[in-house]
Amino acid sequence: MASSRTGSATWKRVRKVVIARAIRDGLDKCPLCGTLLDLHGTGDGAPIDVDHLIPYSLGGQDHPDACRVTCRSCNRSRGNGTRTRRGAVQAVRAEPRTIIEW
């Protein structure tokens, strides 16, 4: 935990921007599973996470354009460095019909 990347100031800023953009764009569902997201922290919907389109371990960057909002369970189940190249490409286009490989 000593070198927690997600605790960095940069990541916190990125996370905030990504969530703000999602709200601005009217995103209300997880792009992966379609679950309603709790973007406003009201408890009405699934807890959210900000996810790298390309896993950090594969060269993904801490930049708002390289990240997206998903529900927490999708982000957790995806983990780091899993087989998500196709998902990453689709997410860039932000289309809700993302195909998930379970």
Binding site for Zn ion (CB under 5 A): 30, 32-33, 35, 71, 74
Residue 53 vs 74, nearer CB to Zn ion: 74
Residue 22 vs 32, nearer CB to Zn ion: 32
Relative to beta strand 67-71, strand 48-52 is antiparallel
**Length, in residues, of the chain:** 102
Residue 30 vs 67, nearer CB to Zn ion: 30
Separation between Cα atoms, residue 19 and residue 45, nearest integer Å: 15
Separation between Cα atoms, residue 5 and residue 93, nearest integer Å: 26
The CB-of-1 to Zn ion minimum distance in angstroms stands at 26
The CB-of-71 to Zn ion minimum distance in angstroms stands at 3
